[in-house]
Amino acid sequence: MSSADDIADVDAVVIGAGVVGLACAYALANAGRDVLVLETARHIGGGISSRNSEVIHAGIYYPTNSLRHRLCIHGRRRLYPYLASRNVAHNKCGKLIVATSEREEAEIAGIYRRAVENRVEGVELISGAQARALEPNLNARAALVSPETGIVDSHGLMRALLGDIERASGAIAYEAPVLGGKVLSDGRILLEIGGRSPMRIAAQSVVNAAGLDATRVARAIAGMPAQSIPQLTLAKGSYFGASGAPAFQRLIYPAPVDGGLGVHLTLDLAGRMRFGPDVEWLDTREPGEVDYAVDPARAESFYEAIRRYWPALKDGALTPDYAGCRPKLSGKGEGAADFRIDGAEAHGVKNLVNLFGIESPGLTSSLAIGEQALARLEGNAPHAALKPTLFLDRDGTLNVEVGYAHKPDDFAWIPGAIDTVKMANARGWLAIVVTNQAGIGRGLYDEAAMQAFNAHMNEELARENAHIDALYFAPHHAEASDARYRHPDHPDRKPNPGMLLRAMREHPVDPLRALMIGDSDKDIEAAANAGLPALHYKQGDLHAQIDNAVAGLRW
């Protein structure tokens, strides 16, 4: 950061240090951007991120192909491996969505159809007897099993994200509220920062991830078209805790209600039961006016709702716990609004992304939201038609492994590899190669040699009326002789997912219909880190293996 005329020049600013803001900063930092996070409070996650159920959602409820659907599933697929790699406490405990009446049975059946349409893995519709076999204390006529649902230490997740940001030379400023700003003639965004150390910042890029305050921040930036800022509706949700040993091993959800998913039973990582949230539509539109106290009188409606699926709940078992607030873009009786990730394509202001209406499943979607925000900043507007995609390793997957392959004379196809590319082309899928090329960094050959090798591969494909849509390579290595490529753990080098994530930003890749194919554990791990399924190719006909794998993915 450098300063002149009392204005500090900053590359990228993220406003808000909740889980979504930190995920956006993490995505920017991984893309090589210098990031400053501005947080109004004295610590991270003091808003929505500290007042929720800490549930990792599967992606069941949301309208098919909505942002909430797509980002929830892709974000969840990315989140589990991220949590494991950072030792963040979590538990994929699963959940049951239960029907306790004939009407709810029909509703649960509809939710199941939506889950299948949304390509949620492992969902199953079971009878009441089967549900009670799983959870003996449950009252249910039928239930939907969701094995991908889990719980997470949300503050542990935020600490992990912050650690990654700081290791990438990012920084965070606490007690630094954004008071206003304007779009400068050169495209930078000037921000007026209050708090204990007032300052002025001119940022090349800004992500407004201020949660409940996102609309206020957007209105405070001169040059933001007023018509592009949605109206905020606030809905409070209260939670009650329950004394005693947990009566269930899984999360228990009733059929959804207006504005939410009903008073559901969740577990914390210590096994403690808690219930909520309910939905209380607020008259105010000012987040600062929200009273987060839990009214003990609301317990009466909780007892009634909970006893429909847990009749044995004892009187006096519930105690007021905490409350949260949702930044909704729709009101009472209206259909749930989708997430909004608004870049220049939505409001005309270059280098600014506004995140509006990021409520549940925002935590689950956070890593995917961060990638979407980065894509908007890079000028990659949402693609109208996303395509199924085969991501292919090169050496050992398309061509026979011969050490550091770089000579066209050494090129030989893996059996079925040409047919695999032709299949993708014929079906209108993308075929994208992602390959580690550490031999470049280690001085064994140069980029020109690699490009000649790739050109030979493409010429042979062209003779078969086939083509590769894009090729990404990572020349980096911890011991590279060329300093340009020396890096202890470059984000692009598999098993890191950088090449895959970049390809998904730069091409119309459908992450819910994408498959990574590789011959090494690094390829499989990179796919998991990018939230993608993978096929570990070992030997035999590649085309036959991929055809079977794709059929199993319900493409």
Question: To which H or E segment does residue 55 belong?
Answer: strand 55-56
pLDDT given at position 260: 62
- Give me the pLDDT at residue 4, please: 44
Question: Which amino acid, 129?
Answer: A
Domain range summary for the chain, segments of one domain joined by +: 2-48+155-229+338-377, 92-150+232-328, 387-552
CB distance 476 to 486 below 8 Å:
yes
Q: What is the pLDDT along the chain (555 residues), one digit of tens a residue?
A: 444 458 999 999 999 999 999 999 999 999 999 999 999 999 999 999 999 999 999 999 999 999 999 999 999 999 999 999 999 999 999 999 999 999 999 999 999 999 999 999 999 999 999 999 999 999 999 999 999 999 999 999 999 999 999 999 999 999 999 999 999 999 999 999 999 889 999 999 999 999 999 999 999 999 999 999 999 999 999 999 998 899 999 999 998 766 567 789 999 998 899 999 999 999 999 999 999 999 999 999 999 999 999 999 999 999 999 999 999 999 998 988 999 999 999 999 999 999 999 999 999 999 999 999 999 999 887 777 899 999 999 999 999 998 898 999 989 999 999 999 999 999 999 999 999 999 999 999 999 999 999 999 999 999 999 999 999 999 999 999 989 999 999 999 999 999 999 999 999 999 999 999 999 999 999 999 999 999 999 889 999 998 888 877 777
> Where in 194-349 does DSSP place strands (E)?
199-208, 221-222, 233-242, 251-253, 264-267, 273-276, 280-281, 318-328, 340-342
Helix (H) or strand (E) holding 500: helix 498-506
What pLDDT sits at residue 2? 43
Q: Given 3.40.50.1000, 3.30.230.10, 3.40.225.10, 3.30.1280.10, which CATH number is that of 387-552?
A: 3.40.50.1000
The yes-or-no answer on residue 409 being catalytic is: no
Active site residue 395: yes
Tell me, what's the pLDDT at 257? Answer: 67
b/e burial code for range 97-121 (CB count within 10 A of at least 16 → b): bbbbeeebbebbeebbebbeebbbb
CATH architecture for residues 2-48+155-229+338-377: 3-Layer(bba) Sandwich (3.50)
Tell me, what amino acid is at 441?
Answer: G
Which residues face 127 on adjacent strands? 142
Q: Compute the CA torsion angle 357, 363, 368, 374 (nearest 10 deg).
A: 60
Half-sphere exposure of residue 27: CA atoms within 13 angstroms, side-chain side? 26
Which of 278, 393, 492, 510 is labelled catalytic?
393
- From the candidates 395, 492, 510, 519, which is the catalytic residue? 395
Q: How many residues does the chain have?
A: 555
Match domain 92-150+232-328 to its CATH number in 3.40.50.620, 3.30.9.10, 3.30.390.30, 3.90.700.10.
3.30.9.10
> Which pLDDT does position 348 carry in this prediction?
94
Phi, psi for residue 482 in degrees, rounded to 5: -90, 120
Whether the Cβ atoms of residue 156 and residue 88 lie closer than 8 Å to each other: yes
The answer to whether the beta carbons of residues 341 and 372 sit under 8 Å apart is yes
What is the structure's pLDDT at 267? 94
